[in-house]
Chain A
Amino acid sequence: MLQASQVHFCIRQRPIVDEVSLELNPGEILAVLGPNGAGKSTFFKILSGEIKCKHGAVGYNGHDIHKLKARDLAAVRAVMPQHTQVNFPFTVQEVVELGLISTKAKQPAKLIQEVLEATNTSHLKDQVFNHLSGGEKQRVQLARVLVQIWETKPFPRYLLLDEPTSSLDIAQQHAVLKILQTLKSRNIGILVILHELNLAAQYADKIALLKNGMIAKSGTVEEVLEEEILEYVFDHPIHLIQNPVTGGMLISAAAQAHTSIPTFKQA
């Protein structure tokens, strides 16, 4: 289990992450949602070990994160940050291979081939990473992150993703979340920051809503997705509609009711 208990982080006396507690079990997808500036990314960095939280604790499978070395941490969790810039002309294959840098994989070539196929990037493997389009880069980075935890291991592992679909078209967005779903059966717990509420509703098992550094609500998708709480968190009118085809939930954001910008007619 990945456990965060009362994680607190301040910048200049202002709490960015305010006493947040969260649990992520292997085999489930937890979507973290919230408006810009809610503290999602800071919380994410505390979980990944990049930032040390001043109060509270983060534990991976019962081990305190600060007592794990970088190498040990890399064996139990992989991280996909929002943007990754590569300054030198590395090929796609070389970038993906880097995911295996601290693991002693038995069949590295096979793992690489599998993640390249899973992310639909096999055809790019000899190209220079920097020449790819934004969406291709994001899929290659996903492959690089996946290969780190692709090999089957006897202990639970975790995957943290910060907006992994931000540069992808609709088909690719769903492809990525489908890959994440297949990871559940590999005893991997997935925490993903998303902006697209409908993707969360469709693929997540649990949702945590973050606002002003605090958890506004967390629980199963059905528990969390209510108009009232969503409107409070996002400061925007939101309607829940049933999808006539699948029967699932559709989240529709209406135009702001009382807009402060005068319309053309009023002006």
Chain B
Amino acid sequence: MITALSHTKIQSQNLTLLGFGFVLVLVLLASLSLGAFSIPFPQTLAILFDQIGISTGTFEVQQANVLLQIRVPRVLMAMLVGGGLGIAGAALQGMFRNPLVEPGLIGVSSGAALFAVIFMVLVPVASSLSWIKSIGLPLFAFIGGLINVLAVYKLSKSQGRTDAATLILAGVAINALAGALIGLVLFFADDSALRSFTFWSLGDLGGATWAKIPVTMILIAVPSVLLLFNSRQLNALALGEQEAFHMGVNVQQVKLRLLICSALIVGVGVSMVGMIGFVGLVVPHLIRILFGADHRLVLPGSFLLGAILLNFADLIARLIVIPAEMPIGVITALIGAPFFIWLIFNLNKSRN
């Protein structure tokens, strides 16, 4: 009987993921079609199908150019970065055993931004060699993110457990330090570097081009898949690090893998589109509230829902102030901050 039960559990997990995938496709299509330059839905499909050699209708060249050169890379970027932030948030929450953890709050994003700025300002050679720039920037951001997450982890851990209050305080301190250092670096920056920095501080998908997609694709998709292979170990960690060790999990190795993968995902995301807050916090929570805590669902679900949410936020950002664009960080924070307040409120309530 239990066999049947766990069987249906896996089936319902797959069904849930399939549902998310379906919604994601809908949001992607809507996002491709709508915007300052509206491309009617039939034409959108026609252009896409035309790319794989199936002719289903007529469209103008201008429509095809906007769609293929501007919208598609942008939507892909939003999907990768949103999904990456979602799954990295889920993995970090699981590893810290704390639902308040978020890449922005614990300083991964600010560390990544700091190192990205350092790269932009202090490595001027990079701008002449484009391949160094396309790889070096995300890798530098990754190192910054990794340093910060390690620092916060060490600071917040006492006697084998992470304390929520210390964790948040450590995150605040590290964020403040990173912010100050960013300011210091910018002091030496020239105008073009300063302008680049504005992208990070606000978060902007407008800079997404085809040139950035391959690097982003590899450096976000690969660690995301690696994270998926650790979902059972994350489940064990939810009982505690000692308990996970008792059950045969090599805790140190798993934690290192989780930290590196998460920092890589967030670092690359930040270097590409800037600091986008709250996606990594809200998304895993929604999945847990709706479908339970099993990381075998939480991790892939967070990727899909993160991709949906960021594309949706980007769509709003592009639509509400046509022909201008709202910075996407504003939209995610407008959705995320009230949710965070609600979360703190509920955590306090459940504790009393």
Task: Tell me the A residues contacting B by CB distance below 8 Å.
Answer: 48-50, 69-75, 78-79, 81, 84-91, 93-95, 97-99, 101-103, 109-110, 112-113, 144-145, 148
Q: Which of B148-156, B165-173, B231-239 lies at the interface with chain A?
A: B231-239
**Chain A nearest Cβ from B215, distance in angstroms:** 33
- Given A69-B250, A101-B247, A102-B247, CB of A86 within 8 Å of CB of B239: yes
A-B CB pair tally, cutoff 8 Å? 86
User: B235 contacts A70, CB within 8 Å?
Assistant: no
CB closest residue in chain A, given B238: A88
**Chain A nearest Cβ from B39, distance in angstroms:** 42
Interface of A: prevailing SS: helix
User: B246 contacts A78, CB within 8 Å?
Assistant: yes
User: A94 contacts B250, CB within 8 Å?
Assistant: no
Q: Could you tell me the distance between the alpha carbons of A102 and B94 in the complex, rounded to whole angstroms?
A: 19
**Chain B nearest Cβ from A107, distance in angstroms:** 9
Q: Could you tell me the distance between the alpha carbons of A193 and B151 in the complex, rounded to whole angstroms?
A: 37
User: A148 contacts B247, CB within 8 Å?
Assistant: yes
Number of B interface residues in the complex (CB < 8 A): 29
Query: Which residues of B, 218-261, contact A by the 8 Å Cβ criterion?
Result: 232-233, 235-236, 238-240, 242-243, 245-251
User: B248 contacts A84, CB within 8 Å?
Assistant: no
Q: Is B318 at the interface (CB under 8 A from chain A)?
A: no
Q: Is B3 at the interface (CB under 8 A from chain A)?
A: yes
**Chain B nearest Cβ from A26, distance in angstroms:** 19
User: A87 contacts B98, CB within 8 Å?
Assistant: yes
User: A50 contacts B248, CB within 8 Å?
Assistant: no
Give the residues in chain B near A89, CB-CB below 8 Å: 288, 292-293
Query: Which residues of B, 280-306, contact A by the 8 Å Cβ criterion?
Result: 288, 292-294
User: A101 contacts B246, CB within 8 Å?
Assistant: no
4 A-B pairs with the lowest CB-CB distances in the bound complex, closest first: A74-B248, A102-B248, A88-B293, A79-B246
User: B247 contacts A88, CB within 8 Å?
Assistant: no
Q: Could you tell me the distance between the alpha carbons of A60 and B239 in the complex, rounded to whole angstroms?
A: 25
Q: Is B99 at the interface (CB under 8 A from chain A)?
A: yes
- Given A98-B236, A101-B232, A112-B2, CB of A88 within 8 Å of CB of B246: no
Give the residues in chain B near A91, CB-CB below 8 Å: 292
Q: Per a CB cutoff under 8 Å, which of A75, A87, A94 touches B97?
A: A87
**Chain B nearest Cβ from A152, distance in angstroms:** 18
Q: Is B6 at the interface (CB under 8 A from chain A)?
A: yes
Give the residues in chain B near A103, CB-CB below 8 Å: 248
Give the residues in chain A near B5, CB-CB below 8 Å: 93
User: B250 contacts A71, CB within 8 Å?
Assistant: yes
8 A-B pairs within 8 Å (CB atoms) are namely A73-B248, A75-B248, A81-B246, A84-B240, A88-B288, A101-B235, A101-B247, A103-B248
User: B235 contacts A71, CB within 8 Å?
Assistant: no
Given contacts A50-B242, A74-B246, 15 further A-B contacts (CB under 8 A): A69-B250, A70-B250, A78-B246, A81-B246, A84-B239, A88-B99, A88-B238, A88-B288, A90-B235, A94-B235, A101-B249, A109-B3, A109-B6, A110-B2, A113-B2
Give the residues in chain B near A145, CB-CB below 8 Å: 246
Q: Per a CB cutoff under 8 Å, which of B6, B248, B293 touches A70?
A: B248
CB closest residue in chain B, given A87: B97
User: B294 contacts A94, CB within 8 Å?
Assistant: yes
User: A49 contacts B2, CB within 8 Å?
Assistant: no
Give the residues in chain B near A88, CB-CB below 8 Å: 94, 99, 238, 288, 293
CB closest residue in chain B, given A148: B247
Q: Per a CB cutoff under 8 Å, which of A70, A87, A90, A99 touches B294?
A: A90
- Given A87-B238, A88-B238, A94-B294, CB of A99 within 8 Å of CB of B2: no
